[in-house]
A = this chain, B = another copy of it.
Amino acid sequence: MTVRERIHEIIFESDTKLGKWFDIALIVSILASVLVVILSTMEWAGLPQWRGRFLAVEWVFTGLFTIEYIARLWSVKRPLKYAFSFFGIIDLLAILPSFIGLFIYHGETLLVIRTLRLIRVFRVLKLARYLSEATALKRAFILSRHKIVVFLTMVMIVVVIAGALMHVVEGLDENGNPTEFHSMPSAMYWAVITMTTVGYGDITPGTAFGKFLTAALVLIGYSMIIVPTGILSAEIAQQRRPVAGKSCSNCLYEGHDADAIHCKKCGQRL
């Protein structure tokens, strides 16, 4: 086994002892580096005596992850395929923000994108089937993509029209000065915040008619969001029920439960 094969085994597999330790060290590093990024944004961390230390620790982690990324590229058989795979892109994104932070203010905070690397946790902890749950969800979403497109288009249309109505009704206050509803983007932001029932309260209707309109829009917009979401959920739950849809060799019935031993229609052993 060459050095390159050995490094590949340590980095990409978790069956060997060294490979397991590498994975655990990796997860701890990811969590630690995300924690450092979070702490570095707190008020006391801006003081001169802390700023330097945090910057140093961040660059240490960036250095480690850069070495790891290069090792992955070098040890894998087809580097390009890895580089453009889901995990390959995340591994790159996990080191890029440090360099971006040299140019954009606090751009290094995007280092928290490293949390995405935690998806590896599932693989390491032998919880691969947790990932299959995520895959099942993804497939269910793909099956429902038509409904989601229609749904989002409807939501967008309602948001634009609701914003326009409030712009016309509450755009100017009683003294003729523009309100928060005067700008359409602001009014559309209000419509999204209201229809999703977040309701910050930073923009609220002031006139009686505006309040009436808001109450009506809330009821319409709310049901426009909650009912389709509920339908989608119920349908996804139904679609996923007969997971391992084996069919009966006797009566060809296909809706067997995952724990069935005999066909529930004709009694044939499956």
Contacts and interface: CB of A to CB of B under 8 A. Distances in A.
Interface of A: 34, 37-39, 41-43, 46, 104-107, 109-113, 115-116, 118-119, 121-122, 127, 129-131, 133-134, 137, 140, 146-147, 149-150, 153-157, 160-161, 163-165, 167-168, 171-172, 178, 182-189, 192-194, 196-202, 204, 208, 211-212, 214-215, 218-219, 222-223, 225-238, 240-241, 253-269
B265 A267 contact: no
Which A-B residue pairs are the 3 nearest by beta carbons? A230-B233, A234-B237, A262-B267
A149 B188 CA distance: 29
SS of A interface (majority): helix
Contact of A168 (B104, B129, B199, B212): B104
A22 to B, nearest CB: 21
Contacts of A109: 164, 167-168, 171, 184
A223 B227 contact: no
18 contacts: A38-B160, A41-B171, A41-B187, A107-B168, A112-B161, A115-B161, A122-B150, A130-B150, A134-B154, A186-B208, A193-B215, A201-B202, A229-B230, A230-B237, A235-B240, A237-B238, A259-B259, A263-B267
A115 B160 contact: yes
A266 B265 CA distance: 11
A185 B127 CA distance: 29
A257 B90 CA distance: 40
